[in-house]
Amino acid sequence: MAGIRDYDDVLHYINWETPRVSTISQKTDIGIYAGNNNWNRDVRQVYGEIAFDGAAGKYTEYALSLGPDKLEETTQKMGIEIQTVQFHAVKEGQDEEGEANDEYVIIAEK
């Protein structure tokens, strides 16, 4: 699907309308960080130049190595309830100007 790439790292996930644990609101929020489908690619390139090529992938490997128990442990300590969501691919992608570009994004619904 256009907009859904073979790779998947934390930057790709953040780019979509997906759940995030907020230490500010003390809850799990669902929202879009960046509407532009290319945001994650641009940031991945910058991380590659600042740190090293593949830095986002290595960080993703580290985060995944912590496992779901770490998320549960951390959110419980903070009193944050994790909500179950369903993920769907929808054709709501945008370009850098916020215009529809016929690409897909992943959204989460409660």
Q: Across residues 58-76, what is the average pLDDT?
A: 91
What is this structure's pTM?
A: 0.74
Phi-psi region of 78 (alpha: psi -120 to 50; beta: other; left: phi over 0): alpha
pLDDT the model gives residue 71 = 87
Instruction: Say how far apart CA 84 and CA 64 lie, in whole Å.
Output: 18
Burial class (CB in 10 A: 0-12, 13-18, 19+), 40: buried
Q: Which two tokens stand for residue 105?
A: 């994004």
Distances (CA, A) of 110 to 12, 30, 91: 20, 9, 19
* pLDDT of 8 over the 80 cut: no
Q: Across residues 46-57, what is the average pLDDT?
A: 90
pLDDT the model gives residue 4 = 81
Instruction: Say how far apart CA 37 and CA 20 lie, in whole Å.
Output: 18
